[in-house]
Amino acid sequence: MKLSLGFSPCPNDTFIFDALIHHKIDTEGLEFEVFFDDVETLNQKALRSELDITKLSFHAFAHVAEKYALLDAGSALGFGVGPLLICKNEDLIGSERLTQKDSTLSVAIPGELTTANFLLGIAFPNLLNKQVMVFSEIQDALLNQRIDLGLIIHENRFTYTEKGLHKIVDLGSYWEELTGCAIPLGGIVINRKLDHGIQLKVNRLIRKSVEFAFQNPKSGIDFIAAHAQEMEEAVMYKHIDLYVNKYSVDLGIEGRKAIDILFKMAREKGIIPEINQTLYVTN
């Protein structure tokens, strides 16, 4: 049986899925047709139900929970891993312009349905002049002064200071202080139309793929590097260390609690709809 599978070319995802798609583990008769896309493209594909299995932002998951269920394996949650709001103009750090009503500051975001944008809305509800950009283009837009602020994710966390850009706030730290929980960034969901046994099998295989990667961290280096936008190996593994952890093996009670709090807060603010389905694939 062949299933369509979407994930990003970022090192954390390629690290997680290398063993699965290259048959370094027994895939129990399943084959996977892989689609590499940035997170917002994957979010939009999920809205259209294009893929059997896909990585997506937890914010986006709230809008497709009727169609997809969340797997316990493969997610990106953690402490110190949140999006950063950055700028070129240091005068904006701590500026009243960030919080004033009808703020005219322009901010580039990596997607309307990203968890990053959701957190921005909680922390800075008056920053409404938003422009959607591919995450890898945001720093250049700041440097070229096409925007005032940038909301960065993924490996850009490690490179912005080298370009002379400045941090305004770490939204991950903001979330952690607010809730005491790990920040849920992205998860792996599977189409509810698939047989429940297939759903459980896919969850089991992704978990095995993550465990294989942890046990053989250099096994997928060529595959990871091929998709890492000329990133240095040290930066690639810093990225992996930040986003791949125990929650990637299994959400567990703590991981599910963090997601439930995120969704509860979002519903209370009217950001996401009520969800009438069980969120998770259960045994």
Binding-site residue positions: 55-57, 115-116
Select from 85, 79, 275, 91 the least CA-distant residue to 189: 275
Extract the tokens encoding 143.
Answer: 């440097």
Residue 98: CB atoms within 10 A of its CB come to 21
Judge contact between 275 and 70, C-beta under 8 A. Answer: no
Total number of residues shown for the chain: 283
CA distances to 14, 74, 225 from 233, rounded to whole Å, are 14, 22, 7
DSSP letter for each residue of 46-75: HHTT--SEEEEEHHHHHHHTTTEEE-SSS-
- The answer to whether residue 59 is catalytic is no
Q: Give me the torsion for CA of 133, 99, 103, 135, rounded to 10°.
A: 0
Mapping DSSP to helix (H, G, I), strand (E, B) and coil, where does residue 32 land? Answer: strand
Which residue in 63, 154, 166, 227 is the catalytic one?
A: 154
| Rounded Cα–Cα distance for residues 61 and 81 (Å) | 19
Q: Tokens representing 90? A: 């240091």
Give the annotated binding-site residues for substrate.
55-57, 115-116
CB atoms within 10 A of CB 15: 27
Tell me which residues are annotated as active site.
154
